[in-house]
A and B are shown apart, each in its own frame.
Chain A
């Protein structure tokens, strides 16, 4: 008599538990699916909003927004070619400087560094990514620019006689494409080095041991066995740094000189698309002006999309080549 209700109770509880967990599973599945859908939806929503706001400018001005260089709000001319040029050049300068440095840091930390040094140095490099960009901007104004104007630029131009090339000629004011590229290099560095370090550390020990066993030196091991294995990850890191550099606004605005002109010299002031938007948006009242700034934003959006697509493609291609 007594065993029956207990049995019944137990089985019910068991059934209940199963049912509960099934509901829990479904809720959990639903929630995660929601999270997974919200983010892409957000990206699409932002893109739609930007392109809708940019449409009047594209309709009226067409591609002259990216092909002409005359930005004159009063005259109704909105040619952002110098800003497009500045965005690409400053980011390129940043990558040229940051990539070897960041990969060097990553290789040292993963291959050579004593373990007591690895943590603190890695932490400090990562910390670079946590500094607000306005602080970088202030550092740029008060430390980097005076140094560039007084020492670095005269040295490059006259000391190394690079003034004869168009890239290092002209007066050294300080605020310049070079200053922007340098500050972006510092900002992009932690992203490249953190990703590279992680992928280098993830290279299996057997890879290194095999190379060493074949009589390779440490340098040969790294060059021929470790780095190729980690190549796709390193490229991903570089593209991430590039994405950071392309979109950076505040620090660049503070050091680039904000002059919408295309110049071959890295000493000349320049402009970037992000700076242009940041500078003019809050005080823009004229509809075409607002729309033209949105159009610049749309172009920047497309450029970052292209960079990401290229990054994916590179990572995919490199990993496929290795898999063969």
Chain B
């Protein structure tokens, strides 16, 4: 009898534990608001704010409802490969291997907006924006520059009094497009980084603490004097974090801003071949005004649409996004594509075949 009671209590409490665990699971929001849904998509969390604005604006104008689940780029790629959604979204381009595995044939990468990473830090008493070179950033994130008053930092920032304090590196612990952009940049500018760490949505960090999400990284930096890390431009702007100016390929120190990111894309767009698949990296872009740590984010669609009606709706939406949608991007701190490039991407949308048969 008592054993029974104990068992019952344990069951009860386990039930509570389960419930608690459910509460804690990261909420991935589904944006459908009743009624029939015309298109479904899944993928990257980084562009979710702008995408959900696009979907709601588009639904108001055309009545076409799009349901998007921000489950992460990995999930987006998996789901579009399995054809369980009409489109995917990713912060990193799909690899050739991943493309080969997609069940519905060739996939087009449609760049939609640009994101950027900023370097933010916590140095009480330092009000001027610090300047960093690519080598210095790599040195700090590899643990080779460990003090704020290291000559490699002070020589770039004359007139700023930097403390004799340990540098605490904070990076993302969760797989993220933000980390992909940052490591893609370091991979390109630093041979040492390329050899020992490389690029990816999650890498083996030589030093530092991992924070979950932009808020985890920013929270840790805000609380720890001497900390440095990277967060998304939009997040940094909305939270008024101090950000560093980074030396770009042209030798200019540029602070991250929406126009500086668009300028980076424009710098790369000039040299694109006509038949590009847009799986391109724009880190360390040329151009005096270009901010070097930035990237596209992509919507992934099949070249051969099996459902002509849905296919048309999807193409219509993408056309709208690349014209009307781009205009509202800066209001949410996303950089729009350069105009000429948006036109080229739209031209590429015409290659999508709506006939149905493969």
Contact = CB atoms under 8 A, between A and B. Distances in A.
Interface of A: 70-75, 129-130, 132-134, 141-142, 145-146, 149, 171, 173-175, 191, 194-195, 198-199, 202, 232-233, 236-237, 240, 243-244, 247-251, 253-254, 257-259, 269, 275, 278-285, 290, 315, 319
A195 to B, nearest CB: 5
Given A195-B9, A202-B2, A240-B10, A132 B23 contact: yes
Contacts of A149: 223-224
Contact of A141 (B6, B16, B75, B216): B216
A105 B102 CA distance: 57
Contacts of B219: 141-142
5 contacts: A74-B198, A134-B23, A146-B223, A171-B166, A243-B17
Given A74-B199, A134-B23, A198-B9, 10 more contacts: A146-B223, A195-B6, A240-B10, A259-B208, A278-B174, A280-B202, A282-B174, A283-B72, A284-B74, A315-B3
Contact of A283 (B3, B5, B166, B202): B202
A73 B210 CA distance: 16
Contact of A191 (B13, B25, B173): B13
B204 interface: yes
Residue of A130, A141, A195 contacting most chain B CB atoms (<10 Å): A141
B259 interface: no
B73 interface: yes
B73 A283 contact: yes
Interface in B1-26: 2-3, 5-6, 9-10, 13-14, 16-17, 20-21, 23-26
B6 A233 contact: yes
B175 A284 contact: yes
A240 B75 contact: no
B124 to A, nearest CB: 14
A282 B74 contact: yes
Interface string B223-251: 11000000000000000000000000000
Secondary structure at the A interface, as helix, strand, loop or mixed, is helix
B201 A254 contact: no
B82 interface: no
B175 A319 contact: no
A280 B174 contact: yes
A74 B71 CA distance: 22
B297 interface: no
Contacts of B279: none
A283 B174 contact: yes
B98 interface: yes
B229 to A, nearest CB: 13
B203 interface: yes
Contacts of A74: 198-200, 203-204
Contacts of A247: 17, 21
Contact of A315 (B6, B24, B77, B223): B6
A309 to B, nearest CB: 13
A259 B94 CA distance: 27
B303 interface: no
Nearest to B21: A247
Contact of B24 (A72, A132, A145, A194): A132
Nearest to B197: A74
Residue of A145, A280, A315 contacting most chain B CB atoms (<10 Å): A280
Contact of B212 (A232, A254, A285): A254
Interface string B151-176: 00000000000000010100001111
A257 B227 CA distance: 13
* Closest 8 pairs (CB-CB, A-B): A283-B175, A258-B210, A282-B72, A258-B173, A133-B24, A250-B24, A132-B23, A72-B204
A109 to B, nearest CB: 15
A233 B75 CA distance: 43
A134 B24 CA distance: 6
B73 to A, nearest CB: 5
A134 B26 CA distance: 9
A269 B205 CA distance: 13
B305 interface: no
B78 interface: yes
Contacts of A285: 73-74, 77-78, 94-95, 98
B212 A133 contact: no
A130 B14 CA distance: 13
B201 A283 contact: yes
B6 A73 contact: no
Contacts of B6: 195, 199, 232-233, 236, 315
A285 B95 CA distance: 10
Contacts of A75: 204
Given A244-B17, A285-B77, A279 B173 contact: yes
A202 B9 CA distance: 12
Contacts of B200: 73-74
Contacts of B5: 198-199, 202
A173 B209 contact: yes
A269 B203 contact: no
A233 B201 CA distance: 46
Contacts of B175: 279-284
B223 A145 contact: yes
Nearest to A315: B6
Contacts of A232: 2-3, 6
B3 to A, nearest CB: 6
